[in-house]
Amino acid sequence: MEAICGRFNFKTKNPVEEKLIDRMCHAFDCYGLDKHGIFCERQIGIGIRGLNGDNLKSPLSNENGLIRVAFEGVIYNSQDIRGYLLQKGHLIKTHDYGELIAHLYEEMGEDCVKKINGMFIFALWDKRREKLLLFRDRLGLKSIFYTISDGAVIFASEIKSILQNSDIKKEIDFESLHYFLSYNYVLAPSSLFKNIRKLPPAHCLVVSSEGTELKKYWDLHLDEIKAEKEEFFIEELLRLLETAVKRNLDSHNPAGLLLSGGIDSGSIGLFMSRLQNYPIKTFTLGFPEKDYDDDVKNSHFISERLKAEHNETFLGADKININTLKEIIYFLDDPIADPGVFASYYISKFAGKYVKVALCGEGGDELFAGYESYAADKVNRCFSKLPLAPLLKYPLSYLSGFIPVSDKPRSLEYKIKCFFSGFGGSPLQAHSRWRQFFSEQDKTELLTRDFLDSKAGGENLFGVYRNYFDSTKSGDLINKLLYVDLKTYMPECLRMFDVMGKSSLMEVRSPFLDHELVEFLFKVPSIFKLKGFTSKYLLKKAMAKNFSHGVFSKAKRGLSSPVNVWIKHGWKDMVTDILSAEKTKSLNYFNQKYIEQILNEHFGNIKNNSWKILSLLVFYLWHDIYINAPAGKNC
């Protein structure tokens, strides 16, 4: 396990001091990474931090030392690449991925990334051309941040490392704050920090004395739909999924499985059981709340079917205190206010005691149309064609507000309210409403007048979704919406899993997001993903011989935590203390009267405002940790 960082003074040519790169490396000490290697030469400095047991070396080079690479992640086809390079006459001295890439770059230049199958980020220094290249994998399984400041580019796996540079100010990007309040995360290429950017998935940043250039090296092509029968798609899915699982298994360490009790992780487990000659260790997280026990029950059935060594643990509100919240937020840097972050953190702590690599079913919903929103998109498209649809929107939306609040996960009340809030709009507007928590109207009540008058607005937020939606020529609506989610929400979800796994020195891998499998699935007509209102149809058909239908019929919950219940009960005092009038006044962004309103509505069971409250809770603590804290703060 590694983390990388560096600085390139591409305009000023000022030398980079080794002690700065050392300080940037030590920003990762909170993970228990305890050994690092540094390369500094005039205007370039690159560092890599890892575990003492990983035989870590400084950024690796080719034979003549003209190319240096700092790599984080894993290359699944490294043996194929090694064989290719040996045939080309390269002398390879180590088993380090960085050295492989250095030689591969000699052969292929910037296109070297196209030959790599894996989850990765890496920094490559080309001395001869005085050029730095930063790469991120195709789906965003790993993340890298950067900033361009006064003729220098500063980069790192995480923002906390970038902030070790004294010339970087800790400021909020106010347009990103609008986005965060709307969707509970900030979409690449932005972050909540002003001028600190996320490298988007499938992109390369090229930096030289001539300036910077952002290049996209991979994308999906939705206009290449295959006209084949169902049997063909099933056979190809099974073949590619087995190949993906095989690639993700660690040849050095036994891999565990994060088992949520559903078909996604169950399918991964099925192939793991076939490919490994020892029992799988499965890990399931449950909750004491009675409406959240289906996953535990299902996981028992699946683990027995897999003949696995099953392990389970339970997470209650009492195990997430303010110190835990601060630790999670500190690890994430760029905040994510998703209830799944608590489950991800806790299951990683639990599984990390047993295994160093764990596979999961992440990505299944975004590839097979697993969320309720995709079925709602179908209904909305039909309703929108009715002659009276525009007249029905407002009365139906108003009436849905009288449905009693439920604490059940993904309750009928939640689904109806989400549906009617987007009803009658364009297909993309209706779809994105399922992920929007503070509406534009909500934000006019939440944000102070001074803030709204003087700071950047959020009127262009929906444009990000529209750009992805319009970039594809496909006439398949569901596939287009899946593509939008894969480009927007999915990378942040993956970052959450990656960072929470890293916090326990465990690597979380997602076989469904093998790029060859993803490319195939976007050539499958969406009728085989959402058939009628049967979600994940193709995957269910492929797995039907191995699991009973009962596993598939349970309500989808995944690793989402019952935050709505915790806020009302176990967290009530903590929430009211953090969102106090005194702290709101010190921020000078929000109206306390509106905050008290949503709290009272939630505590009084009038509305489920848990997502809004969680968003504010995370932001207040993030602001304390990163904006108010002294520069250079470490764990």
Query: Would you say 409 and 292 are in contact if contact means Cβ atoms under 8 Å apart?
Result: yes
Q: What is the pLDDT of residue 72?
A: 95
Q: Which amino acid is at 396?
A: L
Which residue, chain included where needed, has tokens 């290719």?
Answer: 84
Alpha-helix residue ranges (DSSP H) falling in 276-371: 294-305, 322-332, 340-351, 364-368
Q: Please name which of 257, 253, 245, 246 lies closest in space to residue 351, comparing C-alpha atoms.
A: 257
* Average per-residue pLDDT for the chain: 89
Provide the phi-psi class of 424: left if phi over 0, else alpha when psi is between -120 and 50, else beta.
left
CA 585/CA 36 separation, integer angstroms: 43
SS3 615: helix
Closest CA to 269 of 254, 284, 280, 278: 280
Q: Give the pLDDT confidence score for residue 386 in this predicted structure.
A: 65
pLDDT attached to residue 316: 94
Could you tell me which CATH class the domain 2-216 is placed in?
alpha beta
Tokens of 171: 């400021």
197 vs 297: CA distance, rounded Å: 42
Which pLDDT tens digit goes with each residue over 353-400?
Answer: 999 999 999 999 999 999 888 888 887 777 766 666 666 666 666 556
Helix (H) or strand (E) holding 574: helix 572-578
| Residue 634 pLDDT grade (very low, low, confident, very high; cuts 50, 70, 90) | very low
pLDDT digits (tens, 9 = 90+) for 498-549: 999 999 999 999 999 999 999 999 999 999 999 998 999 999 999 998 886 6
CATH T-level fold of 230-314+340-369+480-553 = Rossmann fold (3.40.50)
Whole-number pLDDT of residue 590: 96
213-268 pLDDT, tens per residue?
999 999 999 988 888 999 999 999 999 999 999 999 977 778 999 998 889 999 99
Q: Residue 484 pLDDT more than 70?
A: yes
Q: What residue spans define the domains of the chain?
A: 2-216, 230-314+340-369+480-553
In 10 A of CB 417, how many CB atoms? 17
Please tell me the predicted confidence (pLDDT) of residue 424: 63
Residues in CB range of 230: below 8 A, 6 or more apart = 528, 538, 541
**Is the model's pTM score more than 0.85?**
yes
**What percentage of the chain's residues is helix, strand, coil (to nearest 5)?**
50, 15, 35
CA dist., res. 607 & res. 601, Å (int): 5
Please identify which residue in the block is written with the tokens 């809004």: 612
- How far apart, in Å, do the first and last CA atoms of the chain sit? 18
Helix (H) or strand (E) holding 394: helix 389-400
Rounded CA separation 426/431 (Å): 9
